[in-house]
């Protein structure tokens, strides 16, 4: 992870993302405005990084154009990214599938809002299935990072880019409107230089750089194979990458799990609201723990199994109708009851609602 500056700033999660993109030494951002993440593009435009690092910031004519600019930029080994919110991310799915099939590194940021459809502009986590289980067509996976603080919004830009380049696969920051819009303290990463053409040629030997002669062979970027046997081999290679990611990149945070009689599982801003709810429950002597998956894929199933199976029950809290709960049930192998509490359409529950939902599911805990 990049070093952080000494200075402590106060800013919105979306603004922190924009600053972190510039400071990573990214080569390009291509976006199209949509609430609740428009500050990403706005902040990039304000900062004018084209005058400092030489980074390209472009408001495309549509989400489709933006994601395909990312596809093109990534093919040349450049560090490129885009951001949007739920309906815009749906539009980008075809491009994301192509980027995954092309084994290209790219960073995509989704600051989720209520859906389905045009939905609302308020916070949601309704895109868990879309992000973690597919979204676009074909057997591919995204590395999915779920920030809960403005600091993580900044930190996960660098982490997301690093993982994307390490595994040559797209990574997504799956945030929600709460972390996008709230302000809190943040230490931004220190400014890194953009990579030189020579560094890109060395680090990304697969990149299309227009230098076939000096390389001795042509690099071709395609996601199409006419031979099914070849395409199956490609798929085996993708799956091998995903297996390595699952082995090495699981991230999560645990709170109060040592003595927990019950467990909550929640990600993003909701995990913080759960934590406050858990503190209220603990004041009453009810021992509840929390696991906050940081990577939604690869999913931290081992720790949820280990901790969850020792409890009397698990409650997932999500801003949706029950999506991650399916992965939590698989993780604990249905050995203990796993319940779900969710609000939808842009409504964010408060800590007391979570306490009430816990009592409703586990009345014997009282």
What residues make contact with other proteins under the rule CB under 8 A?
Answer: 8, 10, 35-36, 120-122, 177-178, 181-185, 269, 272-273, 275-277, 279, 346, 348-353
Please, which residue, 298 or 346, has the CB nearer to other proteins? 346
Q: How far is the CB of 137 from other proteins (least distance, A)?
A: 34
Q: How far is the CB of 227 from other proteins (least distance, A)?
A: 51
Instruction: List beta partners, residue 178.
Output: none
Please, which residue, 31 or 119, has the CB nearer to other proteins? 119
Please, which residue, 293 or 349, has the CB nearer to other proteins? 349
346: alpha, beta or left? (left if phi > 0; alpha if psi -120 to 50): left
Please, which residue, 30 or 156, has the CB nearer to other proteins? 156
DSSP, collapsed to helix, strand or coil, labels residue 216 as coil
Instruction: Compute the C-alpha angle 128/131/134, nearest 5°.
Output: 120
Q: Can you tell me the distance from the alpha carbon of 97 to that of 118, in angstroms, rounded to the nearest whole number? A: 22
H or E element, residue 119? none
DSSP notation for 287-344? -EEEEEESEEES--HHHHHHHHTTSSEEEEEESSSSSHHHHHHHHTTTSS-EEEEE--
Q: Are 76 and 208 in contact (CB under 8 A)?
A: yes
Q: How far is the CB of 260 from other proteins (least distance, A)?
A: 17
233: alpha, beta or left? (left if phi > 0; alpha if psi -120 to 50): alpha
Please, which residue, 183 or 233, has the CB nearer to other proteins? 183
Please, which residue, 45 or 353, has the CB nearer to other proteins? 353
Please, which residue, 182 or 303, has the CB nearer to other proteins? 182
Q: How far is the CB of 13 from other proteins (least distance, A)?
A: 10
Q: Can you tell me the distance from the alpha carbon of 94 to that of 116, in angstroms, rounded to the nearest whole number? A: 18
Q: How far is the CB of 5 from other proteins (least distance, A)?
A: 15
Q: Quick one: DSSP state of residue 109? A: E
Q: Quick one: DSSP state of residue 236? A: H
Q: How far is the CB of 351 from other proteins (least distance, A)?
A: 5
DSSP, collapsed to helix, strand or coil, labels residue 353 as helix
Q: Can you tell me the distance from the alpha carbon of 101 to that of 122, in angstroms, rounded to the nearest whole number? A: 32
Please, which residue, 99 or 270, has the CB nearer to other proteins? 270
Q: How far is the CB of 264 from other proteins (least distance, A)?
A: 12
Q: How far is the CB of 9 from other proteins (least distance, A)?
A: 8
């Amino acid at each position: 992870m990049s070093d952080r500056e000494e200075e402590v700033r106060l800013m919105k999660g979306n603004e922190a993302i924009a600053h972190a993109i510039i400071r990573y030494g990214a080569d390009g951002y291509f976006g199209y405005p949509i609430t609740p993440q428009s500050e990403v593009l706005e902040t990039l435009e304000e900062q004018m990084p084209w005058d400092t690092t030489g980074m390209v910031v472009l408001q495309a004519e549509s989400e489709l154009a933006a994601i395909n600019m990312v596809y093109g930029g990534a093919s040349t080994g450049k560090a490129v990214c885009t951001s949007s919110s739920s309906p815009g991310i749906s539009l980008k799915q075809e491009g994301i599938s192509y980027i995954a099939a092309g084994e290209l590194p790219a960073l995509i940021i989704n600051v989720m809002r209520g859906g389905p459809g045009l939905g609302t502009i308020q916070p949601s986590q309704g895109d868990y299935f879309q992000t973690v289980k597919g979204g676009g067509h074909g057997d591919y996976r995204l590395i999915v990072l779920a920030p809960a603080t403005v600091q993580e919004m900044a930190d996960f830009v660098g982490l997301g880019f690093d993982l994307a380049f390490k595994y040559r696969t797209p990574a997504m920051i799956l945030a929600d409107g709460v972390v996008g819009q709230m302000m809190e303290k943040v230490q931004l990463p220190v400014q890194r230089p953009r990579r030189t053409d020579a560094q890109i040629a060395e680090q990304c030997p697969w990149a299309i750089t227009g230098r076939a002669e000096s390389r001795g062979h042509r690099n071709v970027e395609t996601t199409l194979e006419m031979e099914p046997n070849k395409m199956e081999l490609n798929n085996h290679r993708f799956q091998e990458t995903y297996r390595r990611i699952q082995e090495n990149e699981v991230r999560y945070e645990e709170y109060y799990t040592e003595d927990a009689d019950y467990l909550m599982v929640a990600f993003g801003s909701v995990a913080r609201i759960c934590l406050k709810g858990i503190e209220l429950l603990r004041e009453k002597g009810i021992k509840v723990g929390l696991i906050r998956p940081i990577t939604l894929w690869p999913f931290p199933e081992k720790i949820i199994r280990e901790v969850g199976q020792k409890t009397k029950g698990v409650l997932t809290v999500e801003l949706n109708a029950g999506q991650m709960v399916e992965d939590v049930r698989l993780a604990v192998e249905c050995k203990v009851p796993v319940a779900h509490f969710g609000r939808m359409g842009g409504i964010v529950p408060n800590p007391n609602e979570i306490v009430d939902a816990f009592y409703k599911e586990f009345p014997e805990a009282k």
